[in-house]
Structure 1
Amino acid sequence: MELYREAIDYLNAYGISPVTEEEMVDSDLLQDVFAEETEWVSHSPLQTEPGLPSTPTIDSPDDLLQKRMVVLKGILISEEIYLTELETLLTPMKALRAAAGTSQPVLSTEQVQTVFYQIPELRDLHKDFCTSLRTRLQPEKVMDPQSQRDLGREEGPDIQLNQAEHYLSVGDLFLKFVNQLGVYRGFIDNYENAVEIVQKCMQSDQRFRTLAESMMSSKGSDNVKTKYTFEALLYKPLDRVMKTTLVLHDLLKHTPPDHPDSITLQEALRLTSSFLSGVNERSQCKRSVMLSRGERRQLLRDGFVVDVFESGHNLRHLFLYTDMLLCAKLTSAGRQAQYRFCWYLPLVGLKLHWAAENLPSSEYQMKISKTRAKMHQLKQALQQHMKGGKVSVFCAVDRLRRKFEECEIWLLTNTPSFTLELHSTSGKSHTIRLFSLFDLNEWKEAIEKQSGNCIETVPPDLLSVTGSCIKLRMTQQPPLNCIRSNESANICGSLYVIVQSACGLQHPSSAYVCVEVDGFEFYERRKQTCLSAFSVTPQWDEELVFQVDGAQQLFLVFVSQNENDTQHDIVGRAVLNLDPDNMFKKWKKVTCSLGQVDVTLSIKYVPHPLEPPSSSPLVQEPVFCVPIEQVAMHESVLVPHIVRSCVEEVERRGLNEEGIYRISGASSEIQALKHAFNTNYREAVSKLRSVDVNAVSGTLKLYFRELPLPLIPCEQFKELSDALDIADPYLRADSMLTLLQDLPDVNRNTLLFLLHHLRRVAERKEENKMSLSNLATVFGPSLLRPPVARVDISQEVEVQVQVIFLYLQCQNLPEALLTKHLDIDELET
């Protein structure tokens, strides 16, 4: 009842006679502030959102506004006291950190970091909130002078204060504060470790015990010194965050329905309830569950997944215990959330297999696109209604929010994702779908780690275990972005990511990087690079462009593939925070550690209003029979992906193939690859790995042959022909290189890329029987064409072959650039 005592002191200080505790027993205010926290029960997010606490009926609006001001001032006083306590807790940190470097440390550097973990951040968070709230509560800040004078003239002096109080808006401050409550997550997870260090050091070190037992803090308006123990101060943040919901509930109760803060405070209450419920459940996750034979079972991880079964798929809550996986359905009976058992699998001998899900039919893609477009419209309408802030639109806002949530849940359940197959030694199998490759990797690692530690299986009491899920769960809501309302901390616009290269692989392999962003799912949130060549230092130089709305994080997953294309292994993952205050309009180079591999990428962010997503599915632009500069521009590269992919595959398994590029592959396979490159690039790359290598080389030749304009423009045919007639070999080579440099950027770099590849092929001519002359004969007519066809083509063919042959023989042939030069702002490691 400490907060109650503080309120009594506050009323006495202002000459107000408070009622006794006995008189307050039946008071709504007392019941709201000191309600038992553990009785709060969240509601299922899959059902209709339960009504938020309604504003109580009161006799006088003036009284309600006055109570609201009292509540706000009480919150401010409480915040100021809490800040003083945090400052007191931080007082010895600097000295302890300095002593850690001496010969007689009180605490080690690591112990100091653990004991004070996240406390400075909490202090800064509450200091900002307290300062902003104090500024708003200053009388002159309630309403601008002109508005006060106008109200005084129109409605009289008695109404002026009441209107000024009604004009006061603080909801945005609370919403901003609630959206930063994540700072408490690290403190709560670290709390037990910090207390353990404090307790041990108090027993072993007299100096620390003296310090920890006599922490003095100023309290109240008269700055009376209060004595605390270190451990008591360390508990203050834990106690404080758990009361946030009650504070918001109390403030909302005394806010009129037509007040500008009403809707904002309800949103803040929704968010803080979700966060604190998760914290509460997470803090209990270490409580063990008693099994039928006396062993202990503990919850290690839980979250929402899509459960796939014969007749369909549904959103389910998955629980990973120390000895089993439990899948349950979250339901709502009245106002009480409950779980119903679906299935379970023991961890002993559990085998996992993951794969990307196949693309849906065109009709289903159309439905996904229409749902995304509908979500975008709902969000626009929701924002428009929220600006009004009137109680008359609250019902409309609630309906829009429910529709928005339904659309997002549908997308989570139906959008193609990654599947994880679970095979038990008992013969039972289940398949779940995860919303991202990053999530799948986290689940896969957690399950494999625990199944490796699990030696025996104890048959569970399914009824009691399922019933305990409500108390033990750590996650209570699906990963919905529609519940987030504060977008000031998010980015909106175009996010460009160029994945350049990687190093650190222990063995050669082909690899790709999957890049995912969070935020609203109006646009594609997941893209991946093409498969690299078989190497220990894969290189992509591939640009991925995201249209992002509400993004806060970028997820990277590195996947390697063995030489036989039979197994994909997730090597590592990483997360990059997208801070809109520190984002950049110039390219920024970043090196990220993904497990054993370091990946280098460049990022650029351009904020701008986004166009509504199309209600039609995106159709891949064709690459065959399209001008090469158009293909390169669409892919944001200097060498089209089809050229790079075919070349890398030939170098992977075709350098030893006799007659490579001379022997044609099966026409059916070449046409199938052509169709795949025109419609689904990912499918095409996958096909490249399985078809005959001569079909791959044939596809590359076909691409150059079907270019509307040749790689070497027709206008240069005459100049190149004249250069061939130069007798001096050095002057001839210089002239040829000059003409090559005059080619357009895409043409020049694609030609250079191909020429270097053909030289590597010729290096193995003893095995593949393809010399530089043979390769020039194959590619010359496709790469260079005369401006006008002539009757005698023998001379033209000779020019075509000789030009390519001379380029292949050049000793100082420049290297190709795969992407345009980036204007890199700075380098991060």
Structure 2
Amino acid sequence: RRPLRYQSLAALVEDSQWPFLFLVSDFSYGADDYDAEGNEEQKGPPEGSETMPYIDESPTMSPQLSARSQGSGGDSVSPTPPEGLAPGVEAGKGLEMRKLVLSGFLASEEIYINQLEALLLPMKPLKATATTSQPVLTIQQIETIFYKIQDIYEIHKEFYDNLCPKVQQWDSQVTMGHLFQKLASQLGVYKAFVDNYKVALETAEKCSQSNNQFQKISEELKVKGPKDSKDSHTSVTMEALLYKPIDRVTRSTLVLHDLLKHTPVDHPDYPLLQDALRISQNFLSSINEDIDPRRTAVTTPKGETRQLVKDGFLVEVSEGSRKLRHVFLFTDVLLCAKLKKTSAGKHQQYDCKWYIPLADLVFPSPEESEASPHVHPFPDHELEDMKMKISALKSEIQKEKANKGQSRAIERLKKKMFENEFLLLLNSPTIPFRIHNRNGKSYLFLLSSDYERSEWREAIQKLQKKDLQAFVLSSVELQVLTGSCFKLRTVHNIPVTSNKDDDESPGLYGFLHVIVHSAKGFKQSAHLYCTLEVDSFGYFVSKAKTRVFRDTTEPKWDEEFEIELEGSQSLRILCYEKCYDKTKVNKDNNEIVDKIMGKGQIQLDPQTVETKNWHTDVIEMNGIKVEFSMKFTSRDMSLKRTPSKKQTGVFGVKISVVTKRERSKVPYIVRQCVEEVEKRGIEEVGIYRISGVATDIQALKAVFDANNKDILLMLSDMDINAIAGTLKLYFRELPEPLLTDRLFPAFMEGIALSDPAAKENCMMHLLRSLPDPNLITFLFLLEHLKR
């Protein structure tokens, strides 16, 4: 087996060779039964195993994480984590996490010291030439550019030299709180550096422009690589290195948060780390006040008699960027505004970005929309990362509340959660809502729900039926109207869960099973289908879609869906007429041009849905009645894994049993589903989010369990969301999670770490501890999700 090539998860994911690792001819997986191509030598199946009708084409194990070897010296990692991660020993687990946090921080500290060394390297020769007849820089210029760098270097070198042996000779009695306390007490040096930073940059830039020799020096400073790095040096500009102390000043605060989280309260380090954190936070607060002055608001008169009909927060695409706007629909004008930043205690007010009199507002035709620039959706994996962070923060808040933690700690977590929820709210919408001023500019909003888009369109069109006149607002009139928005608004907070009061319902978490039976009340035959939306993380998203029932007034779908709920409180059903006229179809992938025939919404009452039985209901919408049934499974119940009684199948069977039986490294079901998704589902909006039809998923499950010879044919004919749903179901029905019951809690603690270096170190350590089938399947999925 080969030694570990990459020390970080980022390197593993970003390495340009990664897609071709499966073809590396000289790499041998750690089992002797496999040749370099990943095919098994012909040894015949073990007794009692069934012969599979396919050749294993699963990837060889990534060399980045293959190091469970004896030959890698002190860096080798055993498949079982050290004693600190043993189940049932909470104090030991916390101390082991402390070691992982410190190891990651120590690695980043080494890099930082090397960067400071590289910055100091040209200082001595520059000083030597300053007193000659041909100086490169004057003494004053040198002192300005390199101000306090030597002091910062000495502080961190001493800190590193003292901390390193403690981490290397780790045991439960190790104390290092005094080192962090001393480091925090020396932050005053950074204050001086920050105050001088702007002048240092300006001086360096001027000197580069006037002196070619200094320009050459400043453009290519050599930074020494870490001890275990294959790169001995990297070239970095002086400007980039001068920014490193600014960037570094927050790192120790993040690490202190992580260390305190995993240090027992009765440990001698705890009060010292608390003191270090207090000093660091006070220092950062003083720095932020100096470098981030806030604008003050100007109070404006209120008045104006226009009636506010509707308002809400929408994401506008302005100059290629997403901006959160508060949109106000008055009886004769649509106004788009943003909330101004104000000093604490000052009156809040809005700043008008633009307005359109409703007499001048038109909705672009499909042809005009086609000519509009296409908006690329935000990558799904980044949205999922945000959701994971939000879920982890929610858990931390609940733990703090249960332990009657400090209100300041809870507020800090809530602030962090709000920031992540805000980013999710800003970047997740994909459904375009275009409006046009017949006298000028067009505007584009992105919404997450077609229900919401139709509500805005209908409200505007209803007002436009009145006798409206075009007009232009004077600056005073616009100021008065904008000033009234704060008083008249009906939506006060950004729609994120962190804005909810503690006594508000947290919503439902788990799975909602919905059967859409039929619909009645259509006046003429049409091609009809339904979509289902639920609120998730504070906003609505489309979760499922029935098949199109053609040329009927009474469609009978009888289709079942499984919808994941994440703090959900409402279910929406929208009924559409399918448009097959190609001249009317908009090529924008995200825009639905089919006609909405009706829409309705019901509250998900926990007392009603939290029963084990199906609950049948009818929702009325615009004269149309849709019959549906639903039942709810809580998250706790859905996570209870039941091993399959039929060990010859794949669902509910241990992944190690399946791979051994198949003589493969990644289960056949995983490879085939992934292959089909990559063949025709990569461009599908909402892949892995929109639910497939439950009956299709169950049919695929039965075929894979029976190892039917028609699997490939069935996959090629099946709806892509059903295939994605089958893959999700396979992982959900594993007897234990892919990351294993033993390591899962440690993974959750690792992902919650604030310090990036500590997080990488912890995650890499845990990944190496996974059993081989779990690890290889995880890496296979990781590459798939990247694509």
Establish whether TM, by shorter chain, passes 0.5. Answer: no
Q: Provide TM-score, normalisation by structure 1.
A: 0.38
- The higher relative CO (CA closer than 8 Å, separation ≥ 6) is in 2
Q: Based on CA coordinates, which of the two structures has the bigger radius of gyration?
A: 1
